[in-house]
Amino acid sequence: MKNNGLNLARRRSMIYNLRQRVHYTLSLPSFQLNLYLMATTSAALQKILKTPSRLIALVLVVVFFVEACIMLALPIFLPEDLSSETYALVDAISLTILSAPALWLIIIGPLRQIAIDEQARTETVVNSAADGIITIDSQGYILSVNRAAQMLFQFQPQQLLAQHVTDILPDFVMRPTSANETRQQEGVRSDNSRFPLALSLAEIPPEHQPNYVAIIRDLTEAQRLEKARTDAAREREAMRSQQMKTLAELATGVAHEIRNPLTSIKMLIQADRQRLEKQGMPSEDLELVEHEIRRMERSVSSLLDYARPSRPERKVISLQQILDRTRMLVEGRAKSAGIRLKLDSPETPVEVVADSEQIQQLLLNLILNAFDAMPDGGELKIELNQEESEAVVRIIDSGSGIAPDILDRLFDPFVTNKKSGVGLGLGISRRIAEEHKGSLHGFNLEEGACFELHLPVSRKQEMQKEESCPGY
């Protein structure tokens, strides 16, 4: 009886201590209590599991809560004369039995669902990828493939799994590529046909031996398009060569059949002008005839210049000097047409290796075309800059812009929207730029148009710029 009394007193003391601990738990700060209450959802669990310490704390909270419930329930269901050893055994068994489903419900189950959802999400992303994705073990055997890889190599999944990667990628090298690196090689389909591909390889280190993931992109269509672009460029070049040949023959005939008679007619009119005026021919008519003869001579000269360009005499020249000289030539026409000229160039000389006469002819063509685009006046800006190893000249006008129907054919011969134009000036200008290893482009702006001339700067000036910027 004495022992029973001691056991009863001990159990009452334990119940009192347990109630105190439960009261302490319920009096925890609101943040910890909210975390505990939210632990039944996957989203809350993901927040809690950001660090291992939170997971351990959650497990301890669950076990403590289960133990608290057991200690409150045992005195109700167990007889009072039960020995302390038996009581402790029942307590341990109850804790084990009840903790397992509690941990499953609160931690393991949500964790498993998170893992299943993440795996499903990953499989969806991998299978919906346009590129082929293959995982490979350290020995080179295929572990998994996505749907794009199956379609790319035309194999069934079971045919690819456990197959060595060199069976479908004969030139495969087990060496990871860098971030922006790809290897171009050939792949082998199920019918033994080969196709070009680009491969990126990354290492996925597990606990023991590394695995690899290969991302494969089919280059068949890209190479087909590149070949089509190359063939189209060759066709354009062949057509251009044929045009040049035909134009050269035409220009030769024009030089003999038109230019010489025109010169004779002009000389006769200039020599007999006073006599013709005395005979009653109006001087305005003579001036008109002479003007038209000069215009026809310019057209013939354009044909000859386009068909048989002179060989450039290259030397180091300053583009600032060429632009200043060109501006002086057009200032009078600009004032009479109400056009404001603005030249913006750096103080440091921008030098190129070029034929000064041809570059000046190119710039004059562009500036005079800009004048024609502003019949009611406007503003013409000429900008010169050095961008890395290139000199860039921009001719910007405020006119009506380039007509959309000729924008793609702007530099083709005989393409123009001017009433009195032949359509050879821009073609000559681009050819001059290309013969100087540069380029010429034209495009519309919000107001007006812009022509950009790119020329390589002289090697001497490029070396001087590199010396002035040693950090680059």
* 251 and 207 in a common domain: no
* 321 and 464 in a common domain: yes
pLDDT, tens digit, for every residue of 178-215? 877 888 889 888 888 899 999 989 888 765 567 888 88
* 461 and 328 in a common domain: yes
Q: Quick check: 357 and 317 in contact, CB under 8 A? A: no
Pick the residue with more confidence: 14 or 407? 407
Residue-range definition of the domain harbouring residue 162: 129-218
* 446 and 330 in a common domain: yes
* 244 and 194 in a common domain: no
Q: Does residue 28 have a pLDDT over 70?
A: no
DSSP-assigned states of every residue in 180-196: T--EEEEEE-TTS-EEE
Tally of residues, the chain: 472
Backbone angles phi, psi at 237, to 5 degrees: -65, -40
Q: Does residue 467 have a pLDDT over 70?
A: no
The candidate with the shortest Cα–Cα distance to 431, out of 312, 350, 276, 338, is: 312
Query: CA 66, CA 72: separation in Å to the nearest integer?
Result: 10
Amino acid at 451: F
CATH number of the domain that 389 lies in?
3.30.565.10
* 287 and 414 in a common domain: no
pLDDT, position 190: 85
Question: For the chain, how many structural domains are there in total?
Answer: 4
The candidate with the shortest Cα–Cα distance to 160, out of 147, 173, 178, is: 147
* 372 and 355 in a common domain: yes
Final residue in a domain of this structure, among 160, 185, 218: 218
Both tokens of 102, joined, read 């509690």
Residue 423 to residues 51, 304, 419, Cα–Cα distance (Å): 74, 13, 10
Final residue in a domain of this structure, among 218, 234, 261: 218
Strand partners, 185: 197
Q: What is the mean pLDDT of the chain?
A: 78
* 35 and 68 in a common domain: yes
Sign of the CA dihedral with 123 first, then 126, 128, and 132 last: negative
Final residue in a domain of this structure, among 286, 307, 328: 307
Most confidently predicted of 15-24, 42-51, 311-320: 311-320
* 57 and 189 in a common domain: no
CATH number of the domain that 156 lies in?
3.30.450.20
Does the predicted TM-score (pTM) go above 0.85? no
The candidate with the shortest Cα–Cα distance to 327, out of 382, 398, 391, is: 382
Query: CA 73, CA 375: separation in Å to the nearest integer?
Result: 102
The C-alpha angle with vertex 189 and arms to 223 and 213, in degrees rounded to 5, equals: 85
User: Average of pLDDT values for 279-283?
Assistant: 66
* 340 and 296 in a common domain: no
Query: CA 342, CA 319: separation in Å to the nearest integer?
Result: 16
The C-alpha angle with vertex 140 and arms to 137 and 144, in degrees rounded to 5, equals: 55
Q: Does residue 405 have a pLDDT over 90?
A: no
